[in-house]
Amino acid sequence: MNTNGMAVVVNSLEKRFGSFIAVNGVSFEVPKGQIFGFLGPNGAGKSTTIRMLTGILGPTGGGGTVAGFDVRTQAEKIKANIGYMSQKFSLYEDLTVEENIDFYAGIYRIPEEKRKERKEWVIEMAGLQEHRHSRTGILSGGWKQRLSLGCAILHEPPIIFLDEPTAGVDPVSRRQFWDLIYELSSRGVTVFVTTHYMDEAEYCDRIALIYRGELIAIGSPEELKTKFMQEDVLEVASDRPQDAMVELDQLPGVREVALFGKGLHVVGAAGEAERLAATVRSHLEGHGFAVSRVEKIVPSLEDVFVSLIEARDRADQPQQEVRV
């Protein structure tokens, strides 16, 4: 099938569980070699989408190709051409590190003459030289995670799917894991990764935001921050930021205030930043705050996502907006 240099092509992909629509008409493409982030809150439909793309779950509507193979009819071909690290790593805790690798080498039918080399590659990549004979159960989360990734790519697939690979591991291990992702990507491997960490979204070449089964934005981190943001964000530095937040919350023109680091992010309508900045400053000063800075900033991805999700909620359920 001609997929024009695309590792993944998805058209109106849908998954219903009974009357519930977990993935609702999602369409996108992932060029070869890209790090593609699939971002969304819990229950958004990320894992269900991945399970359809990896040939584990059949779609109830739409379709697509992965590595050029049809997700509806060529699941076995897809499985042979991808690596998949599921949300729960599937390592055997009672086996040693080497035994786990040997087990997966068997599953993936790595030719006998290549097994040793691939095993050493995984051990080195995961930094497990000292632990090759350790029982997997005693390893820290970060090591298990790198071992899982290694096992998932023993057969050198051109595309890997990682479902929340860094959930629950410490920040240093997350950073090391992302170094591995970059390394794979630099060798031309396409990486499809789900996450709900905003900092990780920043590391991706492109991001799709999925919410309640629907794709609500897609683009590079830069594009999302500049094109999709329908609102302006001010950064406000003052004393007593908590109190300032309460003070600003009810101010006309302010759509949202949130604590961000030591300061505040104040969201207002696009194009109103200057006027809003003046209002914010005079309001705070009028109430006895020492304001050191009010400045329009490039929004963070978190600002963009909160804004898009809230806009979607407002559009979906205006009649349900009950205030108490």
CA-to-CA distance for 64 and 132, rounded, in angstroms? Answer: 39
Torsion angle, CA of 213/219/225/230, rounded to 10 degrees? Answer: -60
Return the one option of ligand ADP, Mg ion, none that residue 195 interacts with (CB less than 5 to 8 A, by type).
none
Return the one option of ligand ADP, Mg ion, none that residue 182 interacts with (CB less than 5 to 8 A, by type).
none
CA-to-CA distance for 179 and 195, rounded, in angstroms? Answer: 16
Question: The tokens 């990764």 sit on which residue?
Answer: 193
SS3 1: coil
Binding mask 41-60 for Mg ion (x = CB under 5 A): -----xx-------------
Return the one option of Mg ion, ligand ADP, none that residue 43 interacts with (CB less than 5 to 8 A, by type).
ligand ADP
Kindly tell me which of 53 and 105 has the beta carbon lying closer to ligand ADP. Answer: 53
Rounded to the nearest whole angstrom, what is the least distance from the CB of residue 87 to ligand ADP in the complex?
7
Kindly tell me which of 18 and 318 has the beta carbon lying closer to ligand ADP. Answer: 18
Q: Is 174 exposed, middle or buried (0-12, 13-18, 19+ CB in 10 A)?
A: buried
Rounded to the nearest whole angstrom, what is the least distance from the CB of residue 20 to ligand ADP in the complex?
6
For residue 266, what are the β-bridge partners?
A: 234, 257
Rounded to the nearest whole angstrom, what is the least distance from the CB of residue 9 to ligand ADP in the complex?
20
Widest pairwise Cα distance in the chain: 77
CA-to-CA distance for 54 and 106, rounded, in angstroms? Answer: 19
CA-to-CA distance for 290 and 280, rounded, in angstroms? Answer: 12
Return the one option of Mg ion, ligand ADP, none that residue 45 interacts with (CB less than 5 to 8 A, by type).
ligand ADP
Binding mask 115-144 for Mg ion (x = CB under 5 A): ------------------------------
**Which residues, other chains included, contact 179 with Cβ-Cβ below 8 Å and sequence gap of 6+?**
none
Return the one option of ligand ADP, Mg ion, none that residue 147 interacts with (CB less than 5 to 8 A, by type).
none
Kindly tell me which of 19 and 250 has the beta carbon lying closer to ligand ADP. Answer: 19
Rounded to the nearest whole angstrom, what is the least distance from the CB of residue 51 to ligand ADP in the complex?
8
Using CB under 6 A, list all residues that contact ligand ADP: 17, 20, 22, 40, 42-48
Footprint of Mg ion (CB under 5 A): 46-47
